[in-house]
Amino acid sequence: MFTDWPAPTGKHLSLAVPFTADRPLALTSGARLAPVQVAYETYGRLNDARDNAVFVCHALTGDAHPARHHADDTPGWWETMVGPGRPVDTRRYFVVCANVVGGCAGTTGPWTAGPDGTPYGETFPEVTVADMVTVHRALLAELGIRRLRAVVGGSLGGMQTLEWLLRHPEDADGFAVIAATARQSADNLAWNAVARYAIRGGDGTAGPVREAGLRTGLGTARMIAHLTYLSEASLHRKFGRAPRKGGTRTHPSSLVQGDFAVESYLEHQADKFLRRFDARSYLQLIGAMDHFDAFAVPDRLTGAAAEPAVLLYSFASDRLFGPEHSDHIAAELAGRGLAARHERDETSDVGHDAFLLDVPGFLAEADRFLKDLDLRAGARRDDLVAR
């Protein structure tokens, strides 16, 4: 099923095919997709009660590798959150993380070979955040996991977590929606519009992606995204108006080649990204984010029998999904009879990327939330034994 780009890597990566020609994935758009392969990694051990699993949902450019499995392993993208002694403690929990459908790190997406043996490319059907959750749940069924201790995710991962909560509140004891939104603001839609335009080589959204423009287009899109992930304060602290190191334009990038250190940083981020991500997957995933509107259907969650714990966490310096986004989620959930705790971080001035970094108050709150879920699960088991 794999084509040349990009080859999934990592000795801990596992593959599952929860949707086959006989049982295709019914997408929100009405299209059917089969087969669907899912790349995932697991950490820790599933307990005898099979109720200590935590599902980690990754952000826009993430993958199934949130943390190292051992000291010599490749670093993961959420080392501060996942691992021994971390909030998602792999000594206590069986952790599952999977690449999303439409992605490019092992799960079926535009890069995958379609029915005719060639990559789907432009013909890959549109996917939504709801489709991502459907695939996650199918993977868990393959693994024999019926109930989770928690679903945890930040940014696009938080949007998946929120969607999961609204569709299937009975699936987990708790849901942690971090630095996320229920719907994109006009400002966010505009940033993605510029990124989309860059990738498509200046021909808007109507035409096919031009192969010759992929490198510069996707690199430019990554630069744009990085400016939204960081705050003005953090950019100033790191770079200010410092000149490019050495004062010469020696970076191998074909992009920008400006005189300042901040430009060199953006070039470096773009070049790294081009080595691991597919432009068509990027278009798919930002499209899924743009069309996500969690509370567009008024009666979602109303009357649900399950009442899971919900943590909303935001960062005041986040210019993408600041506290007002979590306030909106909390109000909508309250209107449907579900209380959510919103914790707002004022300590980090880093911006959106703070959820990926070592922010002590944030990590302590995530740890407290998960340990409270452990107590709840223990009380539930005691009650079942007493009966």
Task: Provide the annotated active-site residues.
Answer: 155, 318, 352
Pairing state between β 94-98 and 36-43: antiparallel
- β strands within the chain, DSSP E: 14-19, 25-26, 32-33, 36-43, 53-57, 94-98, 148-154, 172-178, 309-315, 341-345
Measure the CA–CA gap between 4 and 104, rounded to whole angstroms: 11
Structure tokens at 187: 């400002």
Residues 166 and 301: beta-carbon distance below 8 Å: yes
Q: Which residue has the tokens 């490198």?
A: 215
Distance CA 202, CA 217 (A): 9
Structure tokens at 199: 């990738």
Spatial contact of 137 and 26, defined as CB atoms under 8 Å apart: no
CA atoms of 153 and 169, how far apart (whole Å): 15
Task: Determine whether 35 is exposed, middle or buried from the number of CB atoms within 10 Å of its CB (0-12, 13-18, 19+).
Answer: middle
CA 202/CA 235 separation, integer angstroms: 28
